[in-house]
């Protein structure tokens, strides 16, 4: 397992320019999403009563907000804008994935990187598999979300609410994680021109080790996040700000490292 982590790190470093590109993509996406949310939330907060409002004032604010949300078309432009942003992200993200997966295959076989070539050659199957994964991942929402809303309305305490909602949420998380790992294996194969069903079979046969490699990498990423957060809290000031902002680049590097380690493991099992 250590071999796959080391080889994954070598592949990630070799693709550092893709790491920077993904970092800029995440940065731009986060900026536009923040500006959009700020443009929606800030006007609402300005209408909130004073810092020490009476119960009647709060009730009036909530009643007015509820009326505008459900009885007018005020929210429609925001819903369409948010939907457009999400669709754009769901179109762009698999393109980056196609380029990265194809380049990982090329760099492992001949030592070169082929990011743009990978987007041109492999975007169709990768985008299709990505969308299928998304649809299957959100499918349980048809049951989980109404069930959670009903539990929120009838639960008398937070422990009771958690006892009702947590099992469904954990099963949904497990479902999404398993789907992600299996579809990731198929996308690796699709980007390299191989059989996606053969790759799926190899992933299923070695799923426990495959999941263990993924969990180790996710654990390393989580530990790095905890360390950076702790240091930024201890060293408040300019250094903490630089460290916090620089962590997003480290986070992107960890993501590419994780994908490269998963790819290397699956490739060794195909040989």
Which position has the higher pLDDT, 16 or 108?
A: 16
Mean pLDDT of 32-45: 74
Q: Give tens-digit pLDDT for 127-149.
A: 999 999 999 999 988 888 888 77
What's the pLDDT score for residue 224?
85
Q: Which residue has the higher pLDDT, 122 or 41?
A: 122
pLDDT tier for residue 186 given thresholds of 50, 70 and 90:
very high
Query: What percent helix, strand, coil does the chain show, rounded to 5?
Result: 90, 0, 10
Do 104 and 260 contact (CB within 8 A), yes or no? yes
Mean pLDDT over residues 162-179, rounded?
Answer: 88
Whether the predicted pLDDT of 103 surpasses 80: yes
pLDDT of residue 145: 81
Confidence grade of residue 113 (pLDDT, cut at 50, 70, 90): confident
Is pLDDT at 211 greater than 90 in this prediction? yes
Cβ atoms within 10 Å of 251's Cβ, excluding its own: 16
Interhelix angle 115-138/16-46, nearest 10 degrees? 40
Q: What is the mean pLDDT of the chain?
A: 82
DSSP secondary structure, 66-132, as one string:
HHHHHSSSTTHHHHHHHHHHHHHHHHHHHHHHHHHHHHHHHHHHHS---HHHHHHHHHHHHHHHHHH
pLDDT at 255: 93
pLDDT tens, 41-57? 776 666 666 666 666 66
Structure confidence at residue 100 (pLDDT): 93
Average pLDDT, stretch 81-96?
87
Written as six digits, the tokens of 245 are 């902002």
Percent of the chain with pLDDT over 70: 77
pTM: 0.84
Label residue 73 by pLDDT band (50, 70, 90). low
In the chain, the number of structural domains is 1
Assess whether pLDDT exceeds 90 at residue 160.
no
Query: Hunting for tokens 């947590």 — which residue is that?
Result: 166
pLDDT of residue 146: 81
Q: Looking at the predicted structure, is the pLDDT value of residue 87 above 80?
A: yes
Tell me which residue range forms the domain holding 238. 2-270
Mean pLDDT of 204-232: 88
């Amino acid at each position: 397992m250590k071999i796959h982590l080391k080889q994954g790190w070598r592949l990630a470093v070799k693709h550092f320019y893709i790491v920077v590109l993904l970092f800029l993509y995440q940065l731009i996406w986060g900026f536009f999403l923040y500006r959009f949310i700020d443009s929606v939330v800030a006007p609402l907060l300005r209408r909130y009563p004073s810092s020490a409002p009476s119960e009647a004032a709060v009730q009036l604010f909530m009643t007015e907000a509820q009326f505008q949300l459900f009885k007018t078309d005020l929210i429609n432009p925001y819903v369409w804008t948010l939907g457009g942003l999400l669709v754009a992200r769901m179109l762009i993200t698999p393109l980056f994935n196609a380029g990265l997966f194809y380049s990982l295959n090329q760099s492992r076989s001949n030592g070169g990187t082929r990011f743009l070539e990978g987007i041109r050659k492999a975007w169709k199957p990768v985008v299709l598999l990505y969308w299928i994964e998304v649809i299957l991942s959100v499918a349980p929402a048809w049951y989980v979300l109404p069930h959670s809303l009903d539990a929120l309305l009838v639960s008398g305490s937070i422990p009771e609410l958690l006892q009702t909602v947590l099992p469904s949420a954990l099963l949904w998380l497990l479902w999404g994680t398993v789907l992600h790992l299996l579809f990731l294996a198929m996308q690796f194969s699709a980007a390299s021109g191989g059989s996606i069903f053969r790759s799926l079979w190899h992933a299923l046969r070695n799923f426990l080790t495959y999941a263990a490699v993924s969990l180790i990498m996710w654990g390393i990423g989580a530990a790095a996040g905890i360390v950076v957060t702790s240091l930024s809290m201890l060293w408040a000031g300019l250094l903490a700000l630089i460290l916090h902002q620089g962590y997003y680049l480290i986070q992107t590097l960890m993501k590419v490292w994780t994908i490269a380690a998963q790819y290397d493991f699956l490739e060794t099992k195909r040989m």
